[in-house]
Structure 1
Amino acid sequence: MIITILIFPYYLLSNKHTSYIYVFLRPGTSVMVTLDSRKQYQTMFGFGGAFTDATGINILKLPEGAQDWFMKSYFSPEGIEYNLCRVPMAGSDFSTRPYSYDDVEGDVNLIHFNLTTEDYKYKLPFILRAQELAERELLLFGSPWSPPAWMKENGMFNGSGGLLDEMWQPWANYFVKYDDSKALFQNWMWNTCAWTAEDQRDWIKTNLGPTLEAASMRRLQLMVLDHNRDALPWYPATILEDPESNQFVDGVAIHWYDDDNTGPEVMNELHSLFEDKFVLYTESCDGWDAAPNERVILGDWYRAESYAANIIEDLNHWSTGWVDWNMALDTNGGPNWAHNFVDSPIIINEKSGEFYKQPMFYAMGHFSKFVAPGDRLISSAVSEGSEHVKVAAFRHNEDSTVILLNMGEDDETVSMDLGGGQEFINFVMPAKSLVTVLAATQPGAH
């Protein structure tokens, strides 16, 4: 068998690469990576970011030529080819104000429901442009932050107020006019709605699910939770153990913000309980817990390494993809009406009319560019004592894509066993690097 290998350090991501052909029959002497394509797991949905108000506001700060290059960088074959993107339903913390699609007090029939200036100016134009640029199908999912304030117990967009009992059906009807689902109890300073698992279960089976079905919208993929690992598996299990609510739910959405405290084993638990439901990481960003003057750090490799390590871990524990948060922020990490500033793969400098691709952008690109929708995760393992090397491997037809992260301070010689201990690929992986290896079987090779 002849294997073509393409090696991409994180800083050299483009369409112009050097191709090398290696034939090795013996392993090297350092880190051993073993693949087994006979063991295949979940199918990949894809990778991407969110069309937030803040993203659109920042793109519009750029000259027209730079705006076009920004969009190509994310969505075109010349760029990193995002294919899975999140769209906030109305306002989020990354808006300049809290708002919903019906802020007319008491409008339970949603007569005044309408998209806003933010949609027409900051979201829809860039979604349409992304669709024009993308060769892959662009998949979109909506996430609500808060119902209209008048539907909530506290009468506010933020805080811990839940949905008023008499608003369960109007809120379900609101979804028919839009899409998806959000949850959990805490006194957040930004747009939110408190849901116990029991209430969300009952709302889905008595209101949302039947309402979507009556409107012929069951073609939509409905995800529950949309929160951190610390809610696994108990929160979605409460919903999915009930056959009436289970029938309307397709998957479980997870955020990364508690991953340092809650290990990935809970994802395995969730999968073992509900194998027919997909898992998807729907929101992740760095800088959210940093000091105020470090919410944005230009050129920071550690944050790229953090992204790559988390993505590899999540994919190896049943996630079908990984969606970043804002695709663009300003140099302060905003705008954000709740002053909840964070970092982003692209930072826009309004004064200079420039945008900066952070190392996080290139980390995302290793996955979004080279792991195609429909690829299957396959078994991969790293030799004992090499914990600083992380790996995730995928099968595309008869080819393999292998993404490796060296978190160590030293270069490593990697020997990759393609299966069966008969053929190996040996290469040097630099310290603190992220490498993608495409092992493509040559036509007619045996």
Structure 2
Amino acid sequence: MTTWISSTPQERLQVQHIDAAQVTSSQDLQLDGNSYQAIRGFGGCFNELGWLALQTVGEQERNQIIKELFDPEEMNFTFNRAPVGANDFADHWYSYDEVEGDYELKHFSVERDEQVLIPYIHAAQQWQPNMKLFASPWSPPTWMKRPKAYNYGRLVMTPENLKAYAQYFVKYIQAYAEHGIAVNQLHVQNEVFADQKFPSALWDAESMKVFIRDYLGPAFEAAGLDTDIWLGTLNGPEDMAFTGGYGMKLDNYNRYVDEILFDDDARKYIKGISYQWAGRAAIQRTHASWPEIELIQSESECGNGENTWEYAEYVFHLVNHYFRNGATAYTYWNMILDDQDSTWGWWQNSLFTITADTHEVRRNPEYYIMRHFSQYVKPGATVLGTTGHFNSMGIAFRNPDGSLVVVVQNALDHAMPFTFADPEHNEHSVQVTLEARSINTFVVD
């Protein structure tokens, strides 16, 4: 028996049960006998504005939203992200130590996070006690930068700064551990190529290599941390205002990665690479050149706040693209937002919208796209090789319990016949008609 879950612009998460079609082969989509990477799972980012919006609804509704996001029987977000200090969806900019010249970090404190981000994460842990978390900074403390501002600029590469900044991360991980939150991965800088109006910092390849090799890696070792260091998050190559010595062409972007990974002393500390935004253009090349390096997608492209079905269809293609090119996780960006303008002028899509005036809760189209994957594709599932005309619109996974999950889109404006075949197991086959503009998940137990 196969469970078929279907969503269209008009109806969402429609469930029915169908019998196997006994199809022995399919030109639409069929398994080719290959299996690839095991995935960590799906998640989103714990942003301040999401938690603050969530406080405007009643306790019962607030708990329901958290349940839908993190309950293993619902969205099942198991692999999530947190900012180290302020990001672009913080209520205002801050770091954990803004005392000029405090190289010993005597004034380091996560007191602000204790009011917003840590309660947000604790709420998720009620449903996901073994949740995995990766963290990344948007900006170092301003006194370590030139210019001394949260937005724009870069870390000043003095030994005193580099040593203190490495200890800044050690203290962050230790402080979160004291609150019962394990930071499993540190991704050294959000969007290394982007000089933004919100908290940001540029890192050229040489600076990143030196910091990881000579300061951050040794600091983690000396502190006995088991947090993995990741090269990321990488947001290039195209359409980015990176001016750190490499141009915006794809070949030069790949050179950035190679410059770091070919240094064995730096490479030994790097457990993976995270890509987002235009990094989608580089992931295939990196996966081919460095197949031993784990890759994840670290931030789904956010749209412009209109939350349309058309953009959700684009996100479906992003999920498909990243997993087909070696990624082991897909991370959404703003899980929850209100419907007001952002703190810096670009409002964005979210899974949930909570209207500021009426406190109405809306589940947006991307909520359903993510759920078509994350509810049914479990951590540890392997990506399966497929062939067929729907290959760019579908993907298959094998869950740890042996169940088969196929997620497929009909992007056309009319219904389409569709067959799926597992040549080794005819009882896994599917033969249906996909509704126009639909997303479909098939679960074969």
Is 1:382 the counterpart of 2:388 in the alignment? yes
TM-score, normalised relative to structure 1: 0.87
Cα distance in 2 between the residues matched to 1:273 and 1:396: 27
Aligned position for 1:357: 363
From 36, 40, 48, the equivalent of 2:35 is 40
Cα distance in 1 between the residues matched to 2:24 and 2:132: 43
Aligned position for 2:287: 271
Cα distance in 1 between the residues matched to 2:197 and 2:70: 33
The alpha carbon displacement at 1:129 in A equals 1.5
Counterpart of 2:297 in 1: which secondary structure?
strand
Alignment CA distance shift 1:326-1:312 (3 Å): same
The alpha carbon displacement at 1:229 in A equals 4.5
* Contact 2:167/2:219 (<8 A) preserved: yes
TM-align CA RMSD? 2.1
The alpha carbon displacement at 1:353 in A equals 2.1
Report percent identity of matched pairs: 25
* Contact 1:45/1:373 (<8 A) preserved: yes
Is 1:281 the counterpart of 2:305 in the alignment? no
Is 1:310 the counterpart of 2:315 in the alignment? no
Aligned position for 1:214: 222
TM-score, normalised relative to structure 2: 0.87
Aligned position for 1:74: 69
Question: CA-to-partner distance for each residue in 1:183-241, whole Å, 9 max, x for gaps?
Answer: 52443111112211111001101000000011111x21221130225265322221111
Counterpart of 1:356 in 2: which secondary structure?
strand
- Specify the code of the residue in structure 1 equivalent to 2:205: A
Cα distance in 2 between the residues matched to 1:26 and 1:244: 51
Counterpart of 1:19 in 2: which secondary structure?
strand
* Contact 1:85/1:138 (<8 A) preserved: yes
Aligned position for 2:437: 432
* Contact 2:338/2:353 (<8 A) preserved: yes
Cα distance in 1 between the residues matched to 2:31 and 2:367: 27
Question: CA-to-partner distance for each residue in 1:244-291, whole Å, 9 max, x for gaps?
Answer: 0000001101112465xx3xxx3232122222211111112332xxxx
From 260, 271, 279, the equivalent of 1:239 is 260
Cα distance in 2 between the residues matched to 1:428 and 1:147: 53
From 160, 173, 177, the equivalent of 2:153 is 160
* Contact 1:333/1:344 (<8 A) preserved: no
The alpha carbon displacement at 1:358 in A equals 0.2
* Contact 1:160/1:186 (<8 A) preserved: no
Counterpart of 1:233 in 2: which secondary structure?
helix
Cα distance in 2 between the residues matched to 1:321 and 1:147: 26
Cα distance in 1 between the residues matched to 2:206 and 2:90: 30
Is 1:331 the counterpart of 2:339 in the alignment? yes
Cα distance in 1 between the residues matched to 2:155 and 2:114: 29
Cα distance in 2 between the residues matched to 1:27 and 1:249: 42
* Contact 1:253/1:282 (<8 A) preserved: yes
Cα distance in 2 between the residues matched to 1:436 and 1:233: 35
* Contact 2:217/2:229 (<8 A) preserved: no
Unaligned runs of 5+ in 1: 288-294, 441-446
Cα distance in 1 between the residues matched to 2:325 and 2:306: 29
- Specify the code of the residue in structure 2 equivalent to 1:250: K
Question: CA-to-partner distance for each residue in 1:50-87, whole Å, 9 max, x for gaps?
Answer: 10111111111112121111101101145311111100
Cα distance in 2 between the residues matched to 1:71 and 1:225: 28
Counterpart of 2:31 in 1: which secondary structure?
strand
Alignment CA distance shift 1:97-1:394 (3 Å): same
Aligned position for 1:291: none
* Contact 2:5/2:16 (<8 A) preserved: no
From 121, 125, 130, the equivalent of 2:119 is 125
Aligned position for 1:201: 209
Aligned position for 2:422: 418
What pairs with 1:23-34 in structure 2 (closer than 5 Å)?
Answer: 23-25=21-23, 32-34=28-30
* Contact 1:27/1:426 (<8 A) preserved: no
Cα distance in 2 between the residues matched to 1:212 and 1:114: 19
* Contact 1:74/1:81 (<8 A) preserved: yes
Counterpart of 1:88 in 2: which secondary structure?
strand
Question: CA-to-partner distance for each residue in 1:95-142, whole Å, 9 max, x for gaps?
Answer: 12211000111111000000132x12221112112111237x311111
Counterpart of 2:28 in 1: which secondary structure?
strand
Cα distance in 2 between the residues matched to 1:420 and 1:223: 39
- Specify the code of the residue in structure 1 equivalent to 2:142: A
Question: CA-to-partner distance for each residue in 1:357-410, whole Å, 9 max, x for gaps?
Answer: 001001011111111111111101223xx57x6111111243211110111112
- Specify the code of the residue in structure 2 equivalent to 1:20: I
Aligned position for 1:176: 170
Alignment CA distance shift 1:351-1:246 (3 Å): same
Aligned position for 2:138: 145
Aligned position for 2:247: none
- Specify the code of the residue in structure 2 equivalent to 1:33: L
Aligned position for 2:231: 224
Unaligned runs of 5+ in 2: 174-185, 238-249
